[in-house]
Amino acid sequence: MDIKLFFQALTKFLLGAVIFGLLIFLPAGSLHYWQGWLLMGVLFVPMFIAGIVMMVKNPELLRKRLNAKEEEKEQKTVVVLSMLMFIAAFVVAGLNWRYQWIVLPDWTVWIAAALFLFGYVLYAEVLRENTYLSRTVEVQEDQKVIDTGLYGIVRHPMYTATIILFLAMPLILASPISFLIMLLYIPLIAKRIRNEEAVLEQGLKGYIEYKQRVKYKVLPYIW
């Protein structure tokens, strides 16, 4: 095991959990916000398990995802806007619980949690199918077009998974106002996909032909 990689991953994991918790519980003004704990559980427990699996089976993929940094100017804008969107959605969710503006019923929260876990399974399958998968828009050395499994259905199954994950989050937090904020992710990801496909068309052999075979980007028969 790469000890340096292990501690790098663990540090980022713990830092992410702390920041996430602060964004939710500080606005809520209480640790009794059980929906916040539920979201942290369904988010960070599978994330920890996935990190361990990648550490053992594919440390290079884990290293790439930990050290990724966007080079495309357009993608840097998308990342910043996405970050602001997340911060706004989580802070509003905490305030929504604190002041009881519009709180969703418990059954909605549990359905959203199940949907979130489904999104995680989908995301894990994408990671399994595509070893070239990166957090940044780039063409890697010796990269080939992946056109089997989920990639034979839509061209960007990772974004299919993230849309499910991100739209389920505010519902787990019982905040419909935050859900409306998170809908901004859809135009942001559409912008990212346009730029990503332009990069892949220029730098990845066979990608134009792949686009002709697989018509849909994210959702079959819809998008």
Tokens of 28: 């809520």
pLDDT in tens, the chain (223 residues): 678 888 888 899 999 999 999 999 999 999 999 999 999 999 999 989 888 888 888 787 777 777 666 566 667 788 889 999 999 999 999 999 999 999 999 999 999 999 999 999 998 888 888 766 654 445 555 577 888 889 999 999 999 999 999 999 999 999 999 999 999 999 999 988 988 888 888 878 888 888 989 999 999 989 8
The CATH architecture one would assign to domain 3-213 is Up-down Bundle (1.20)
The pTM assigned to this predicted structure is: 0.89
Cα–Cα separations (whole angstroms), residue 160 to 8, 76, 98, 137, 167: 28, 21, 32, 16, 11
C-alpha 99/C-alpha 213 separation (Å) is: 51
**For helices 34-57 and 73-99, angle between their N-to-C axes, nearest 10 degrees:** 150
C-alpha 149/C-alpha 124 separation (Å) is: 13
